[in-house]
Amino acid sequence: MTSTTIPVAALTSDDPEERRRAARALVGLEPALAAAGLLTLLGDEDWRVRKEAVSVVQGLAPEPNLLAALIGTFGPSDNVGLRNATVEALGAFGTDAVDAIAAALRGLDADGRKLAAEALARTGQSAALPVLRGLLQDPDPNVCVAAVEAIAGLGIDGALEVVPALLSCLDASEEFTRLAALDGLRALGVNLPWDRLQRLKDDTVLEYAVLASIGRSGDARAAGPLVSALSKARGGTLIATLRSIVDLARSGEGPARALKAEAAGLDAATRERLIELASSAEGREGRGVALLALGALGVQGAAGHVLDALGDEMLQGAAEEALDWLGPLAVAPLIERAAYAMPAGRAACLEIAARLADDHGAPSVRAEALAALGDPSSEVVRAALGALSVVGDQSCLVPVAALLSRDAAPAIRRATETSLAVLGARFSDAARELARRAPPASLEAHAAAVLIRVIGPPVRGSLEADVEFLAAALSSAAPAVRRAALPALAAVGGALAVEPIALALTDEESEVRLAAVRALGRLRSAEGEALGVPHLVALAERAADDEMRTAALLGLGETSDTRALPILRPLVRSGDPKAAVAAIEALGAFAEARRIEALIDGLSHPASEVVKAAVRALGESNDGRVLAHLSVALDHEAWDVRRLAADVLGRYSEGAISPLRARLAVEDDPLVREAIGRALESMVGAHRSPLPTRGSYLPR
């Protein structure tokens, strides 16, 4: 292309789109020929044209003639767009721009030196730091401020040595230089100590920046100035102060207590203003920080307004954190709200109130939770059971146990068993008495089985009597009772429980049969011997039901018994993928030396799901052989196997770098390449790539 390809008229056309296309066409010219046209377009009145010109300039970097022309724009000019676009474009010239700007500084006026500081920051080069340090002594205060902001900008881009330079600027004679340094340090996440900030807090110009910074000091002495500032703070200063209060409250118990002590003296007008901000429908960001501050300060009367925000999913997190800070102050409003809230709201109120209640508030939460056990909403019932696990007393055992006598949904049944187990462990004498009264094979036997499992024998007079009771419960007409008796037998029965558990393997209900298999895997003698191995081996070899066979394999793994290895190892290589995966998962419970060879065999299985299971299991091993085998998995034909292998290799040391890089050179799947990049980053302590999400290994 020659210079005649682009008519001069195109650069000054009345049509912005034609000028933008002219900028793009300049890419094909020699840089020296393109420079004049680019400077014209960098100063164009249309931002899209300027943006296109900047992109072209960056593509031509570091062409020296073009660089010199760009530096020339720092001279006196009224074209603000040109100068700003030039600053943006110079970032692509790196160290060449640093050298050129340093050489040109003496010939620039104050505005030019200010632009030079901004351009130096754009380069992201640590070599710019000495040049910027020189500008800190500039006679023009605006240049000094620009230099400080540029130094902070270099820090954001990774030049960590800028922090000492900014700290030195806190002692500058010019207050706006100190302000820029403080803002820069805050932007970099540098937490200054209270003693350093205290010397700055009385400076009017620095007030906003100091208030925004002292919360991160983590010093309880910052509570006083922050709370005192609330009465006169407005607008952005108020929001910054509230954020700083939240930062201080999050820093530890001491500062949090100091904030509440200082806030006890807040005047009514300030409290109302904070509550109004926390209740405002406008400005969700300001409302969120106000909610958090209300909790951090422990403002009386704030709980109801915080509760109002629970229904807004954007504010829910802030509201829950604020309630945690309010603690017992929020319990009464929560119970009051629970009385008329919708089911989801009532459930949330019960859960939060139980967590926050102290000894004074626990009885009211307990009464509300007991009443909620009869609620038609299963969500509310589960929340009530969870609350009783926290604030319940021995009087709650009977009403909770009664739920197991009803035909409840599985989710409620599980929640009831959990709550009853917690209460039984805390109030063992009352629990033992309750379990002792239950007739065998009755619905009440369900609760008794749960309690026997938790508190242990003897409950009904002796171990033999307990086992006899639980064995009788296996003949109950209710499957839930039979299922509950099995883990209890496994927990307490020892050798006496082998026969009744084995009989349950023929139960008509699948749920009960599977519970029996799990019980066999957990059953131990007084000496710790795995008593269920023979039955589990027989099931693994002969069960016609795939689900029972898989459960038996997992049960064998739970035994960690060497007698299971001859059964599990051949299955890893079997043609049945489900059995192979179950065998691999079972082997994960064995000592490393016993499982490693079998797991390595799984890497050669024809089904990719089996190979992935083996890769996951091997990833937990410290055996030196594992690295080589996982490296081989990087060449597997299935993309999801290669991706998983890369992620697992990311946990290893430098020995994995070479195979990962070798695979990266030939890998064409973008998700696998991403995983390899993630693994390589982790080895140098960087985490720029997103971690894999749940379900991300499913076939595409």
pLDDT class of 360 with cuts at 50, 70, 90 = very high
The residue behind tokens 């760009």 is 70
Write out pLDDT tens, residues 3-21.
Answer: 445 556 677 778 888 888 8
Q: Of the given ranges (48-57, 365-374, 635-644), which has the lowest mean pLDDT?
A: 48-57
For 530-557, what is the mean pLDDT? 88
Minimum mean pLDDT range among 95-99, 278-282, 634-638: 278-282
The top-scoring range by mean pLDDT among 84-98, 342-356, 562-576 is 342-356
pLDDT digits 0-9 by tens, 200-210: 777 777 777 87
In this predicted structure, the answer to whether residue 78 has a pLDDT above a threshold of 70 is: yes
At 299 the three-state DSSP class reads coil
Q: Provide the β-strand partners of residue 524.
A: 530
Local confidence band at 308 (pLDDT 50, 70, 90 cut-offs): confident
Task: Name which of 382-396, 520-534, 667-681 the model is least confident about.
Answer: 667-681
pLDDT for 285: 66
pLDDT band, residue 160 (cuts 50/70/90): low
User: pLDDT tier at 626 (50, 70, 90 boundaries)?
Assistant: confident
With a CB cutoff of 8 Å and minimum separation 6, the contacts of 500 are 467, 470, 471, 474, 489, 493
pLDDT > 60? residue 277: yes
Look at residue 434 in the predicted model and tell me its pLDDT. 95
What's the confidence (pLDDT) of residue 248? 92
Band (pLDDT 50/70/90 cuts) for residue 36 is confident
Q: Which domains does the chain have, with CATH numbers?
A: 624-700 (1.25.10)
Q: Are 297 and 259 in contact (CB under 8 A)?
A: yes
Residue 414 has pLDDT above 90, yes or no: yes
Residue range 391-413: average pLDDT?
91
* Dihedral, 617, 620, 621, 625 alpha carbons, nearest 10: 60
pLDDT at 691: 38
Task: Indicate the average pLDDT of the chain.
Answer: 84
Count H helices and E strands in the chain, helices first. 43, 0
In the chain, the percentage of residues whose pLDDT exceeds 70 is 92
Crossing angle for the helix pair 362-372 and 378-391, to the nearest 10 degrees:
150
Q: How does residue 240 score in pLDDT terms, banded at 50, 70 and 90?
A: confident
List, for residues 427-468, the tens digit of each pLDDT value.
Answer: 999 999 999 999 987 889 999 999 999 999 999 989 999 999
pLDDT at 685: 46
Residue 307 has pLDDT above 90, yes or no: no
| pLDDT value, residue 2 | 43
pLDDT at 684 over 60: no
Check pLDDT > 50 for residue 122: yes
Q: Which residues contact residue 335 at a Cβ distance below 8 angstroms, ignoring those fewer than 6 apart?
A: 349, 353, 364, 365, 368
Q: What is the pLDDT of residue 478?
A: 92
Q: Give the pLDDT score at 156.
A: 57
pLDDT of residue 283 exceeding 80, the answer is no
pLDDT of residue 597: 81
Tens-digit pLDDT profile for residues 242-272: 998 999 999 989 999 999 999 988 889 988 8
pLDDT for the residue numbered 282 = 59
Closest to 62 (Cα-Cα) out of 89, 23, 44: 89
pLDDT-wise least confident of 30-39, 539-548, 576-585: 30-39
Phi, psi of 530, rounded to the nearest 5 degrees: -75, 105
Q: What is the structure's pLDDT at 695?
A: 38
Q: List the one residue out of 225, 211, 296, 218 whose CA is nearest residue 254.
A: 218
Question: Residues near 238 by Cβ (< 8 Å), separated by ≥ 6?
Answer: 230, 277
Could you report the per-residue pLDDT of 481-538, keeping only the tens digit for each?
999 999 999 999 999 999 999 999 999 999 999 999 999 999 999 898 999 999 999 9
What pLDDT does residue 686 have? Answer: 37
Q: Residue 357 pLDDT more than 70?
A: yes
- Quick one: pLDDT at residue 687? 38
